[in-house]
Amino acid sequence: MSKIENEMGYIIKKYNPTIAKTDTSLTYTFADTAAHSKELYFVFDQDKKCKLRSWTYTVRAYYQKTFNVIRLNKGSDWKQIEPNKYISKYSEHMLLVADDKKLSIIVTRVNFTEDEFKQLITAK
């Protein structure tokens, strides 16, 4: 959790978001303008490792930009398995889901076996 808080330091100074924190979650709500806001939501496991990241926007352009940055991350090597659903390379164990109607993006850890992973990749 502290790693996320450190990474968010510059954004906190710049935008002064509303912050909600529990033992297992962290939420930042930003209002850049009267017409634009975004929420970043993180969920942590008992070892304080991030198991879910969520971005929700009110402006499609910001949603699309964030989605493209995440999806084009070469380190994760995202492969599309369904419309708006991607799986990272096996060693990353991540699932990316975008919701075009809600303007939200979720990246979560998954526990697929290697065989299940291969089936998802080849089923496309």
pLDDT digits (tens, 9 = 90+) for 84-123: 999 999 999 999 999 999 999 999 999 999 999 989 888 7
The domain tally of the chain equals 1
Domain that holds residue 27: 2-123
Sign of the alpha-carbon dihedral angle for 69, 31, 108, 45: positive
Separation CA 40–CA 106 (nearest Å): 10
Cα 13 to Cα 8, 16, 41, 59, 105: the distances in Å are 9, 6, 18, 22, 24
pTM above 0.85, yes or no: yes
Distance CA 91, CA 76 (A): 9
Collapsed DSSP state (helix, strand, coil) of residue 70 = helix
